[in-house]
Amino acid sequence: MRKLLIIFLVVGVVAGCGTANKSASPKAQAKAPGTVIQQDTGAKTPIYDREAVRKHLVDLAKHVPGVKGVNCVVFGNTAVVGIDVDGSLDRSRVGTIKFSVAEALSKDPYGVNAYVTADMDLNQRLKEIGDDMQSGRPIGGLTDELADIVGRIVPQIPRDVKDHQPSKDTGIPKQKNTPSSPPPR
């Protein structure tokens, strides 16, 4: 009787452990036809045709409601996009439009690392730099100008766009407490 009990226990343990799935990676999930899965490696997409990328980013930003004009300068693998909005808008509305442009650019491999600004002065400087580049002027001084522009921007980088869930009663996005930040008061 004792041997029979031990045999049943051994068989039960072996059978129970044998059905455990110990694969190193998860099984591929079925996806609907026509869906594209994009993995972000964090690396910038190399830009080979600056003018084509510039036109593409301008086109993306122009389709955002509230944007009256767009200036874009592409230098190396970095793009700076300046948007022109109605001057009578308040700061919060301008910020919303700027965020919408960053959100639109975040879905594009060339726009994900772009810097977006709604500052009128910076937008004018971007226009002048773009005009200088179009006319074939030397670009030696333009690098310093572009570095100053990027340094002045409080960046709204499309890669940093996160989905915020508004609270039920105020419509204001809830902030997540992180260990390094103090709790809200």
The β-bridge partners of 166 are 173
Which of 44-53, 60-69, 107-116 has the least mean pLDDT?
Answer: 44-53
**Angstrom distance (rounded) from CA 114 to CA 116:** 6
| 184 belongs to a structural domain | no
15 within a domain of the structure (yes/no): no
What pLDDT, on a 0 to 100 scale, did the predictor assign at position 51?
86
Domain membership of residue 25 (yes or no) is no
- For residue 145, count other CB atoms closer than 10 A to its CB: 17
In the block, tokens 């031990």 appear at 6
Domain-located, residue 66: yes
For residue 142, give the CATH number of its domain. Answer: 3.30.70.1350
Supply the range of the domain harboring residue 130. 50-159
pLDDT in tens, 133-166: 777 776 666 777 777 777 776 555 666 666 665 5
Q: Is residue 182 part of a domain?
A: no
Task: Name the residue type at position 89.
Answer: L
- Give the total number of structural domains in the chain: 1
Residue 1 lies in a domain: no
4 belongs to a structural domain: no
CA 32/CA 24 separation, integer angstroms: 25
pTM of the model: 0.56
d(CA 157, CA 25): 32
pLDDT mean over 172-176: 55
109 part of a folded domain: yes
